Structures are given as structure tokens and as C-alpha cells.
Structure 1
């Protein structure tokens, strides 16, 4: 890399090209000429020291490095937009913009309820809710491009402060015509001979699922994994298996055509609220963190706050792959 600094125009050009899929479309969206956009991306590649795009005539696609860098570029630009909006808010004495980085399940369930509880004068002119994977949420908070992070456990980053942690019991979701749809609860044995639909990430919820089933020596017939609870629920609705998911998604976005069944054994989904270490919190941010915690107790059956000892156990769940479903 020839310089420690990146030009925001280069980042904007790259993000636009990846988002739209062509140099021409990106140039049109940015109000620039195509040669200018091409030059900006070439300059960005020279600064970074690796190619961002595969070029085949008019067709382009991101390289592996380009895909990885795209998330970082979006995060940087989002942070810069937030800073600009905050500066305008300070000048006008208006409520400051709020940037929330959240798991999709929490963003679709508790966050709208809490924001709806704000008085008109308390609501900032801009609230940005960014859904992302847990690792990206923690990084965004540590980098101070997000005011509040709502992420799953484990949490072990010196750049973030954990305000509270909690857990909710996972549930099973099946199609309404599934043989298990009428059950009051599911036992581990009910999953024998069934295809399991579960989280892909082996370090978080999937690890808890693996260990719970492994402790009962249960091996489902087959597995479909995904990185999204809504996708898992949609797969279950089509009769493709039994989805084991956190209950938050169904609380925020109920889905027709499925039955939600409590589990007769405990698989916890653990999560928490974080902010950047050493960052003074505006009163509204502090209030939102507390309101989210309180609202979850109303929304989700089985919700409970974790004490420090409970939270610590999350990092001691055992080796990845223990049980019968390791990746």
C-alpha cells in the first residue's frame, strides 16, 4: 500500500460498482463519467496493493479480496456519513443520529418496539439500523462506526464494553402439515430421522445446538445450514426439515404456514448489548440500551438476563464440532 490514507471518492466508486454491478451504472448513480469511476477504482487497487475486480471486457465481478474489502468499505462510508450528520445535528441542536449494528433477529423484533416508544422530540432525524453478522457488529462498535451493537455471544474484544447479556430458549419450527406440528414440545428423540435446519456459524448458536444434541447422542438424518434465521424458517415452511432457531425472528416477523414448538430440552441463544470502550454515551443511547433490555422481557417467553458467571460460561462451551453436527 503506497499511502496510509484512502480517498472516500475511491471507496464510494468501489461500493457503487459492487452494489450496482457495472461501471456504467455506478457512474450514473454517482453523477460521474465512467472513465472517472474506472480511474478511482484503479487508484484504490494501487493503494491497497491487491485487485478488487475481475475484468472481462464490459463484465466485472469482485475478486475474493474485493468481496472481503466491500464490507469494510461500507462500514467506513457509513461511519463518515454518521459523523457528517452528527456535525449538522450539533450545529442545529437537534437530536443526534443513532447508528445501531444488530443481528437481524433483534433488529426485526425488539428494536422497532423500542424506537416506537420514543417521544416525537426524542427521535433523531436519522436512525440507521445496520444488520450484520456478529463478528462485523463487534468490529463496527470497536471501530466506533456504530453507537450500539446487539450481537450474539461469545464476546471477547477489548475494544467493546458489554452492558448486559441475556439468553432466550431456542424453538423448533416446522411446516403446519409436518408430522410433529401438533406436539406441545419436542424431545431430542423427535429429531431422530429428521433433517435438521440450523445456523451455519459453528462458534455461536450452532455450537450450542451441537452440544445439546450430542449430549443426548442424537444424530439427525441430514442437515441444511444457513446464516439467517428467516431462511431457516422459510426452509422449514416448505417441509424440508425441522428448524432450530432463536425465537426473536418469529416474534418480530410472524410467518404463516409454520408451527412454532417449544423444545423440551434447553438450547440457549445468548446475546448482549455493546458500545465502544471509553466512549461517553449520549443519554438517548443509554436509554435505548436499557429499553431494549426491558422490552425483551415483555416480548420473549423464557428471556433472562445473565450474570457475569453465566456470560463467562459461553466461552467455555467446549470444542467446536463436539456433538454430532460439527462442520
Structure 2
């Protein structure tokens, strides 16, 4: 630390043009600046200043040294600022892996709001299947994963959330006049459903069977966003995540509560053995707040 103070004094004297101005710049006394300069000359065994009529004039050696000293101190100042930004969650890089549908619904808005006053924060967002997201998180290639149907992994910590689902349909459909839609109301009507390998499809099928209604599967899709677009165009009716439905309301699509309520499980994944940065913790808090309107009470 003493060597740093010596170099700061050396730099200040050259930049300010004298000991008095350098002392004001560093907020220390003139004798303190003189002592720091003298101790630096002794340590380096190089004459840095000529003393003429009470003033210090840099030697050729000092002028040559100044460029490197100035660069080093500037870099240290940058590191100090960067550390402060990291401490205040204003700098860093986050890696997010998520389902394709989620990258076109709530997530872009959450990321955009998070980055508004964080110009030095960067992010990478990659979309893949839940199985691949789980693999990436387990391998610590990403900081946060958004998936469904997570079945567990010893290198992954997860938080399961039950998301409210709704019936999505065209505003022109006769059922849009109802405040609540049941499986019986949808008996035999064309439906847009998730693919049959998905657990949510089987939950929908069970609800229809229990109501004695026929599930008329007109189109199978993987993403709720696809179902919403098709429902708006009157291809059929869909039971979707309320997160996805919210993105399309007002564009010819309406949503109505569906009974019985069928929660859609969303899993937030984190690498179990990778410490969470302050920036990551701040983003998680923002992300969780954005999900609150869509989560079913426990």
C-alpha cells in the first residue's frame, strides 16, 4: 500500500505541476507528498525530480516512468469502480437457459427491466428442451435454468412452482361470454393440446375423462405460445399457462379460468455446487417477483 501511495504522489506532482497542487489533489499535506517522493526515489534508486528554486522538475527518467505509472493507477481505479459495481449488482455476466416458449413470454420483459440501469451487465440466453437445460445446469454451464417436468439431479438445486392455467380462446368464440369454462363445456370442441409425452397433456385428458367429456385433439403443440396464436385464429381452444396467455390478451385472444384448476409445474434450476453471485441473487429476486401474479397459492 505504501508503494501505491508513493506512485500516486509521483503521478500527482507531474500532473499538477508541483507539490502544493499535488497535495491538494491527494488531500494530504505538502510535507507528506515530499516524503513520499523522496522514499520512492530511494526505493527505485532513480532520480525522479530536479529541485530548482524550491520547485520539482521531472527528470527524463521520470517522464518515461510516468506513462506506465499513470496506466497502472488508472487500471487500479477501474478495478475499484468495477468492484463497487459488482458489489452493487451493477456489473457482471449472467447465463440463462430456458424453454423456448419462456424466451418469448415473460423472460424478455424481466431481463429488459433488469438491464435498464445496469449498462455494464451482460447476459446470454439459450433455449433448449427441459432435459438439455437440466444437463447445462448440472455442468455449471449456465447460472439459471427454467424448465418443466424436472425429475431431479444430484448436481442441481431446484424450486418447483405451480403456475395457474387458463382456457385461451378467440374473443369471437361463444364460450368467451362465460366467466368460467369447464371440461364439460369443451366436450367435443376442437382443442389445441400439448404433445402426448408431456405430463400436462395427461392432466388435461384426465380432467376431460373425469367430466365424461370428449377431448377432441385437433392440434398437438410443444409450446403454449403456439397454442395461443392458433386459438386466437380460431383453430381451436387451448388450456395454457397464464404466463403465456397474458402475452396475447388484447390481440384477439381472451382467457377464462378453467375448472378443474390444472397447475402447470415450472422448475427454476440452479447449479448446486456453484456459488451464486450478488448479481445472480438480485436477478432471481426480480424474476421471482415477476412470477407472483401467476403462481397458485399453496
Residues 148 and 121 from structure 1, CA distance in 2 versus in 1: closer, same or farther, beyond 3 angstroms? same
**What displacement does 1:113 show?**
4.2
* C-alpha separation in 2, matches of 1:208 and 1:180: 22
Q: Report whether the alignment pairs 1:143 with 2:135.
A: no
Residue 222 (1) aligns with residue 226 (2): no
Q: Secondary structure at the match of 1:222?
A: strand
Alpha carbons of 1:273 and 1:181: their partners in 2 closer, same or farther (altered >3 Å)?
Answer: same
Alpha-carbon distance change, 222 to 153 in structure 1, aligned in 2, over 3 angstroms: closer
CA–CA distance in structure 2, aligned partners of residues 124 and 208 of structure 1: 44
* Larger-Rg structure: 2
1:233 to 213, 218, 228: 228
> Relative to total residues, which structure has the larger strand share, 1 or 2?
2
Structure 1 position 112, deviation (Å): 3.5
After TM superposition, list the pairs within 5 Å mapping 1:58-207 onto structure 2.
95-118=91-114, 122=118, 124-162=120-158, 164-200=159-195, 202-207=197-202
CA distance in 2, matches of 1:123, 1:215: 53
Q: TM-score, normalised by structure 1?
A: 0.58
| Structure 2 equivalent of residue 304 of structure 1 | 296
Structure 1: give runs of 5+ residues left out of the alignment. 1-88, 307-327
Contact 2:193 2:217 in 1 (8 A): no
Counterpart for residue 251 of structure 1:
246
Structure ranking higher in helix proportion = 2
**Deviations, residues 253-291 of structure 1 (Å, cap 9, x unaligned):** 545112211112111111121111211111111222222
Residue of structure 1 equivalent to 2:208: 213
Q: How many pairs are equivalent?
A: 212
After superposition, the Cα gap between the structure-2 partners of 1:269 and 1:219, relative to the gap in structure 1 and judged at 3 Å, is same
Evaluate the alpha carbon distance shift between residue 102 and residue 290 of structure 1 in structure 2; reply closer, same or farther with a 3 A threshold.
same
Q: 1:274 matched to which residue of 2?
A: 269
SS in 1 for 2:92: coil
Unpaired stretches in structure 2, ≥5 consecutive residues = 1-78
RMSD over aligned Cα, in angstroms? 2.5
- Secondary structure of the corresponding residue to residue 156 of structure 1: coil
Q: Which residue of 2 aligns with 1:288?
A: 283
Query: 1:252, CA displacement in angstroms?
Result: 3.6
